[in-house]
Amino acid sequence: MAFFLQKSAFKGFFSALKFGGQIALAELMKDPKVNAKADAKILAAEETYSEVLGYKFHIPLLTDYVEWLTKAGFENIHVAERFSETSFLEKIEDVGGWRNLFGIAVVMLRLMGASPVLGKKFIQVGVVKRVLYQNRPTAKYIFQVILAGRKPNDI
């Protein structure tokens, strides 16, 4: 994931590829049409998550990625695929059903009770996930895509 990469990393990708080589990034991206209120909430969630992770977490705009790839020299940059959020029932299936979900919840509650630090981190991550994935006023601006580009055949 490139949300922790420096802008200069894209030039490194460009120089490492053969002529005509392709790049594809599967990334979380922010819609350029995000309003100021939603953007402020997303930025606050990013700061909270950065504290939990121990490094800077930031979800750039889709247009930022396109700009960085263009400046690095890539061409034909396009969204190859945009993924929609899975439904609640699909998420239950992904963890192995209701029984497994209940088991996971029990383990998490025990861990939270045993370690106040871990409990605080679980709560912080929960807040971030609500802002980025569940609350419609903010989550509608965050999406996962595969962004593709190509190094020209000749320079």
Q: What are the residue boundaries of the structural domains of the chain, listed by start?
A: 2-150
**Signed CA dihedral, 78, 1, 145, 63: sign only:** negative
- CA 3 to CA 132: how far, in whole Å? 14
Instruction: Give 91-129 pLDDT, tens digit per residue.
Output: 788 888 899 888 988 988 888 888 888 888 888 888 888
Architecture of domain 2-150: 3-Layer(aba) Sandwich (3.40)
- CA 59 to CA 49: how far, in whole Å? 11
Please state the pTM of the whole predicted model. Answer: 0.72
- CA 18 to CA 153: how far, in whole Å? 8
Instruction: Give 43-53 pLDDT, tens digit per residue.
Output: 888 888 888 87
